[in-house]
Structure 1
Amino acid sequence: MEKTKTIAGFIAVSCLVVACGGGGSDSGSSNGGSNSTPPPSAGINSPTDAQVISLVQSTNIDFGPGANGRPAGTWRWSDTPSRHIPVYIPTPAAGDTTAQDYAAKVNTSVALINTKLAGLLVLDATNTLPTSGKFIQVSYGTSWVPPGSTDYAGYCANVATGPSTGSMIVPDIQNGIYSNPVFINLGNGRCNVTQEIVAHEFGHALGLANHFNGFGTNDTSSTAFWDVLATLYSNPQSTLAANLVVKRAPK
């Protein structure tokens, strides 16, 4: 019972930092105030090892300390790359050109991530709903917009525990992914979901919680974005910042 209270409380205070849009930047607070380490002002396309480590700490390690009793250190999808992560992409209805466009962009992002994180992570795109194990689910037209907000471009996409919700995904007690499935909500009917936004949301779904310089706009062209993901997935779960070994993604 106590664990359930912890999860619910943490999700409740996290709801304001999940929205992305307009190129991938947050609306309102860019990181919910939980990013205590300022991002580097330069070097995004050639970040130093120290910058990569700092960014892993600010976007991942520092997120939700103690949530669900989790230990300190990194959190991410468990047992990769031997365990592949299914990405359920529902087949769009005939004539739904918007959903068809979103599905195509998701497939492009899956292929890009598999190339950039080769040997570290494998995403398996499928149009069949998984019946077991943890997975990512794409949802069309269900991005969360706060009640009363008209900032549809700012809330164009989000990663959450379900469709049309602002509840963030959280780590589990072993620093894996607690939420299942992890929803990538694309579009709200009043915004343009770009390829950059889709790739950005996959960054969140893989464990990048807080935005940083290089993960907010033009994500797929940012070396920092890919190096942070590669470093996160090349080190074991629960790795402390001081023990991180930097891994570079291929150019």
Structure 2
Amino acid sequence: MTSKLYFLGVCFLLFACESNERAVNEEGIINNMNITNLYGDTFPWNGIAARHLKRWDVETEGLIPVKTNNNALAIQAMDKIEEVMGVAMFDRTSIADVPNDEITRGLIISEGTAMGPGGVVDKNSCGMVSKNIGTTSYPTSFYSENGTINTVLYVHLSSSKCTASLEVAIHEFGHALGAGAHFNGFGHGDAINNDFWNVLYNLYKNDIGARENQLTIDKIK
């Protein structure tokens, strides 16, 4: 299995569970990849590398460092992602004891700090990704012109009014790895289902910077 493997900053609020619905075909997978990643004309993408694939460069820059803060749900989510992808994606040790403000690349798990639009915390505030605690925005320049994500992102799980499920945790990791806008099976309907897994797998199977006509698609679910 090819080991090409990647995240973001608005709040995406969810309850649904993973389903066993029949997944879309290869054309549908490409369409979902365009919606959430390649087009690059919706949040959190800022137009850089538009029409090109964007993700973390795990091949040359190494696995994605994660400061788990011993959050059991985040660890379960990472385990599931690596199981489905068939390769290691996360470095769980190198920044474990590094102060947050000294981390220059990777994901920081923050428990209980999820917010909705405008900073509102309500029953839908189950998870989000952003540049820091207390904001729903992303870093100004979190990826490069060639499509490489290289930044620090906070993965917020749960709030004072909502406890995140495993599916929500995986969904938020999906944003942090390079999924932007929601699509059917990723926030529209289910938090995640097989259509999500097919998109995530193919984001990391294909090269950073690839255009739609350069994609090779494997349907794994």
Name the TM-score class by shorter chain.
Answer: 0.7 to 0.9
Consecutive unaligned residues in structure 1, runs of 5 or more: 1-13, 25-42, 92-102
| 1:183 matched to 2:154 | yes
Match of 1:161 in 2: 131
Once the two structures are overlaid, the 10-residue window that deviates more, 133-142 or 201-210, is 133-142
Distance 1:219 1:248, change over 3 A: farther
Match of 1:123 in 2: 90
Say if 1:70 and 1:173, in contact at 8 Å, map to a contact too. yes
Equivalents in 1 of 2:78, 2:214: separation in Å?
Answer: 29
| 1:83 matched to 2:62 | yes
**1:192-231 paired onto structure 2 within 5 Å:** 192-216=163-187, 217-220=189-192, 222-231=193-202
| Equivalent residue in structure 2 for 1:20, among 13, 18, 21 | 13
Q: Secondary structure at the match of 1:183?
A: strand
Report the Cα offset of residue 142 of structure 1: 1.3
Q: Which amino acid aligns with 2:90?
A: L
Tell me: higher relative CO, structure 1 or 2? Use CA pairs within 8 A at least 6 residues apart: 2
TM-score normalised over the length of structure 1? 0.71
Match of 2:49 in 1: 70
Larger Rg over CA atoms = 1
| Equivalent residue in structure 2 for 1:105, among 67, 73, 78 | 73
Say if 1:68 and 1:171, in contact at 8 Å, map to a contact too. no
Match of 2:144 in 1: 172
TM-score normalised over the length of structure 2? 0.79
Report the Cα offset of residue 141 of structure 1: 1.5
| Equivalent residue in structure 2 for 1:238, among 180, 194, 209 | 209
Q: Which amino acid aligns with 1:125?
A: R
Equivalents in 1 of 2:103, 2:119: separation in Å?
Answer: 37
Say if 1:85 and 1:123, in contact at 8 Å, map to a contact too. yes
**How many residues get paired?**
203
Equivalents in 2 of 1:148, 1:165: separation in Å?
Answer: 7
Equivalents in 2 of 1:83, 1:68: separation in Å?
Answer: 26
- Give per-residue Cα distances to partners, 1:90-123, cap 9 Å, x unaligned: 14xxxxxxxxxxx11111111111111124x511
Task: Kindly report structure 1 stretches of 4+ aligned residues shifted beyond 6 Å.
Answer: none
Say if 1:110 and 1:125, in contact at 8 Å, map to a contact too. no
Consecutive unaligned residues in structure 2, runs of 5 or more: 1-7
